[in-house]
Amino acid sequence: MKIYIRSIFTILLLFIFSSLIFAQSHYHRNYSNHSLSINDYLVLDYEQKLSSDFIRMDSLISTSIQGTSSKFLFQYTENNKISEWLILHNLGSGWENSSKDNFFYDNQNNLITEINLGWYINDWDSLSRIIYSYENGILSQSVFQRYNNNSWENLDRYNYLYNQNQNLLTTLIEGWINNKWQYNLLITNYYSSQNRRDSILFQRWLNSDWQNDKKTFFYYSANQIDLDSIVVKSWNGLSWINFLKQEISNDLNHNQIGQLEKIWDFDGWVNSIRRFFTYNEYNFIESAYCEIWYNNQWLTGDGDILFQYPNGFTVAIITNNIFAYYSNIVSVDENENTRITHYSLYQNYPNPFNPSTIIEYKIPESNFVEIKIFDVLGKEIITLVNEYKSEGIYKVQFNPDNLPSGIYLYRIKAGNFSETKKMILMR
């Protein structure tokens, strides 16, 4: 299982800017004799979901069809900025450190340095870093370096130019070759009169000139808000020809709940991979799952999943499924300064947990409340709450004592309301 994870700034390596994320994945897959993913040329607009004053992601668990798992754990500054993320792998013999990133900010909370470290012989070794520069508070340049022979060496430099609406206009990527910066790739974004991105042009520096390579086109649904499809075309020297396509389905909250990816094969589109997403009550991604097209049928398999979170970063993983776990920073009702209007069961925190965790819930009216814990087979473990409650927000602690590591379920019942969520105990 391959994993690529970057902050909203670091993902600029994958062509991201403040409100729009471009992800150029550095991995390949081989389904139905195809080797490229549309994520190589994909742009997603996460502007409405990049930050949250009341919720943040604590961890996520990813599992491949081979049974190997990865766990991501996150820490934050007092300003709710990511200060560290830690990645652990489980290949069957328990969780082991893999890598981590540390983040450093200036007085304006701008990310100025990110350092990536790898776990080697029971210690952390520096691997790479990114240095960020700003003009008038807007990211203008990113320099990528690797750690070699006890010193930092330049690798790539990304230069960003914006239009009058502060939308990213161009990204000029240079490589450090023969001790000087040399042109490599130019990415140009085109916007409609409605300030909506309609296409992206990719050009490579060849023979002392910019040569067309790929172009991504975005097509929107009737409401002109949701993406309906994305088509990537390749330049054959004379014209643009079909290359990759993604058909998108959305829910009523404008969340992408399905992605069907196809690749152009001579005279038609051929299925390649499809992804399914679920969201929590705040419209943040809660889980993702993928299937691959093989021998004219959809099969459970490992595919590339681009997974976005409210704290301003993106994870790109080749895996089968992902589950994300969030916690509340402050009460939603305190944040909105309104009375409780509906029932809610929040994700437990911390999660994964050891030795105990907190389960929070809210009820809009006086009612009898029952909260029970079950194992994954549905066997009842314990009843945490079994009493009459007035309107309000409540917390209850769960201490599993001698329970083994694993996935457990917790369920609330209050009047006609019932909801169940998962939690993970890690011994």
Task: Output the pLDDT for position 342.
Answer: 87
Longest CA–CA separation in the chain, Å: 76
Partners of 286 in beta bridges: none
pLDDT in tens, 70-129: 998 888 887 778 889 899 999 888 889 999 999 999 988 888 999 999 999 989 999 999
Task: Give all domains of the chain, ordered by start, each with its CATH number.
Answer: 3-328 (2.40.128.720), 332-425 (2.60.40.1930)
Identify the band that residue 239 occupies on the pLDDT scale cut at 50, 70 and 90: very high
Task: Output the pLDDT for position 309.
Answer: 60
Model-wide pTM > 0.85: no
Using an 8 Å Cβ cutoff, are 260 and 246 in contact? yes
Which residue has better confidence, 176 or 16?
A: 176
Task: Output the pLDDT for position 199.
Answer: 94
Task: Output the pLDDT for position 333.
Answer: 43
Task: Output the pLDDT for position 1.
Answer: 52
pLDDT in tens, 8-63: 333 333 332 222 233 333 333 333 333 345 555 554 433 334 445 567 788 888 99
The single residue listed with the structure tokens 């083994």 is 404
Which residue has better confidence, 192 or 205?
A: 205
